[in-house]
Amino acid sequence: MSRLTDMIFFRNSHVCPRWLCFTFDNALRRLIHKPERILAGYIREGDVVLDVGAGIGFFTIPMARMVGQTGKVIAVDIQKSMLEGISKRSAKAGLSHRIVLRQNRSDSLNVGGKFNFILVFWMAHEVPNVRKFMGRLSDVLNKGGKMLLVEPKCHVSKKQFERITETCLSAGLVLAGSPAVPLSWAALFSKN
């Protein structure tokens, strides 16, 4: 049964396939994971924010509205097809000028500069080297900046999430809270 469960939930797979996006980017999910509610208090107008593993922009588009005319959202994904989805959706929403798309590699974020806020939503479990990845995120987070780490309970065990959290701490981030996010494990970090 464990092997079947692993197959159903794509456990032990490092990248969520593009065709699966409809299951986590739809109207039902917007009721459960309303981006504006989850991100309230973390993003202000004028901020420069990073959406890591952005998929087709479930959070990217609302974040672009939240940063306003003077802010920027850098959306990073390893799959070009995901970024193409964000490009189409941001153009349709009239927000392309606030969003910068970056295709990363497993060994590089492919971003420069510093960020006020970083979102790592339902993707850290896909990273082959979590320690190196969290170190890179810590490096690009502004002093006083926040990082929200969220992992799906159906896909990541509590023990796995605790290991990822410990990796964040060893990368120099400070645990600032455990926000409630439906169907998820969540931890908020800051950089002192």
Q: Mind giving me the DSSP string for 64-96?
A: HHHHTTT-EEEEEES-HHHHHHHHHHHHHHT-G
Integer Cα distance of 138 and 10 in angstroms: 28
Rounded to an integer, what distance in angstroms lies between the CA atom of residue 192 and that of residue 70?
A: 25
For 46-81, how does the pLDDT look when each residue is reduced to its tens digit (9 = 90+)?
999 999 999 989 999 999 999 999 999 999 999 898
| Rounded (5°) CA angle 15-71-92 | 65
Mean pLDDT of 9-32: 58
Hey, which residues does 184 pair with through a beta bridge? 152
pLDDT in the model for residue 192 = 93
Characterize the bridge pairing of strands 72-77 and 99-103. Answer: parallel
- Distance of alpha carbon 6 from alpha carbon 189, whole angstroms: 29
Q: Considering its fold, how many domains does the chain have in total?
A: 1
Residue 5 corresponds to which tokens in the numbers above? 């469960």
Residue 15 in this model has a pLDDT that exceeds 90 = no
Give the 3-state secondary structure of residue 32.
helix
Tokens 């964040």 correspond to what residue? 168
Decide if 108 contacts 154 (C-beta within 8 A): no
pLDDT, one tens digit per residue, over 83-132 is 999 999 999 999 999 999 999 987 788 898 999 999 999 999 989 899 99
Find the angle CA(85)-CA(19)-CA(64) to the nearest 5 degrees. 30
CATH of the domain at 84: 3.40.50.150
Supply the pLDDT for residue 22: 54
The pTM is what?
Answer: 0.88
Note down the domain range covering 6. 2-190
